[in-house]
Structure 1
Amino acid sequence: MSYKYGVGIAHLEFWVKDLEESILFYSKLFPMIGWYALNRTSYSCGAHEIYFKEMPVALHPSLGVRHICFHAKSREVVDKVGEWLQSINADIIRGPQPMPQYDNSYYTVDFRDPNGFVLEVTHMPDIEL
């Protein structure tokens, strides 16, 4: 049996409290880090897909992933994301900053999206997966 895609995560579904607010946020963030729109509510990097569904928290409360980290092609991309986050008064947890306790090449910005999801954009060229 052959598969169109390799082994890995096919997609991530985000349940969000306000679809329009989330789409506005991610439609700005994702192009900065190399992701593109597949349609109005889903995005891809070419290997993975993330899509968004509005879901009232009162109806479907659930625990989820602690945070999602996106690879950046350069430190400049991390800085660009940090500048954009500052310009919209986003909830920045830390950075952009180096994190030598992980690796001397690790450079990151951590923040919350409009739903409170913790996201990270990092450049880590010397780390092998």
Structure 2
Amino acid sequence: MNYPYAPGINHIEFWVKDLAESTAFYRALFPMIGWYALNETSFSCGQHEIYFKQMPVEFCDSLGVRHICFHAISREVVDQVGAWLRGQQTNIIRGPQEMPHYHAGYYTVDFRDPNGFVLEVAFTPEARL
């Protein structure tokens, strides 16, 4: 049987406190790393989808993923994201910086989005998935 998708992530749903703030943040970030808008609240890279739903704080009692790492196609993309994050006064956890203890060439920036979710944009030329 031939399926339209390979095994992997189908979608990621984010529960957010402010839908307008979150989608504005991602509308600026995602084009830098090769993602595009599917509609007002959903984005894709052509293989995976991320969408956002505003939820009342009293319903946000579950723990989410530790972080999501988005693949960058070059170090320059990581630097561009880092510069944009500094301009947005985003909480940058680390980077842009090399992380050679992960593997040669690993270059990353880790940060928090407006909801406090930890995200990473990394160029990983030696990674084997």
What TM-score do the two structures reach when normalised by structure 2? 0.97
Choose 54-63 or 33-42, whichever is displaced more.
54-63
Q: Which runs of structure 2 are paired with 1:27-38 in the superposition (5 Å)?
A: 27-38=27-38
Unaligned runs of at least 5 residues, structure 1? none
1:108 is aligned to 2:104: no
Q: Structure 1 residues 95-104 or 74-83, which shifts more?
A: 95-104
State, as a whole percentage, how many aligned pairs show the same letter: 70
Question: 75-84 or 96-105: which moved more?
Answer: 96-105
Residues 35-61 of structure 1, C-alpha deviation per residue, up to 9 Å, x if partnerless? Answer: 000001000000000000001121231
Q: Provide the C-alpha distance between the structure 2 equivalents of 1:60 and 1:94, rounded to a whole number of angstroms.
A: 27
- The count of corresponding residues between Structure 1 and Structure 2 is 129
**In 2, Cα distance between equivalents of 1:68 and 1:81:** 15
Aligned partner of residue 2 in structure 1, secondary structure = coil
Structure 2 counterpart of 1:77: 77
Q: Secondary structure at the match of 1:39?
A: coil
> In structure 2, what is the Cα distance between the partners aligned to 1:26 and 1:15?
14
Q: Which runs of 4+ in 1 moved over 6 A?
A: none
Structure 2 residue identity aligned to 1:105: G
Corresponding residue for residue 60 of structure 2: 60
SS at match of 1:90: coil
| Alpha-carbon distance, 1:2 to partner | 3.3
The one-letter amino acid paired with 1:22 is S
1:119 to partner: Cα distance: 0.1
- Stretches of structure 2 that go unaligned for 5 or more consecutive residues are none
> What secondary structure does 1:58 align onto?
helix
- CA distance in 1: counterparts of 2:21 and 2:27, whole angstroms: 10
> Which residues of 2 match residues 1-129 of structure 1 at below 5 A?
1-129=1-129
Alignment partners' CA distance in 1, 2:106 and 2:114: 25
- 1-structure distance, mates of 2:75, 2:121: 10
CA distance in 2, matches of 1:40, 1:48: 16
Q: Equivalents in 2 of 1:98, 1:15: separation in Å?
A: 31
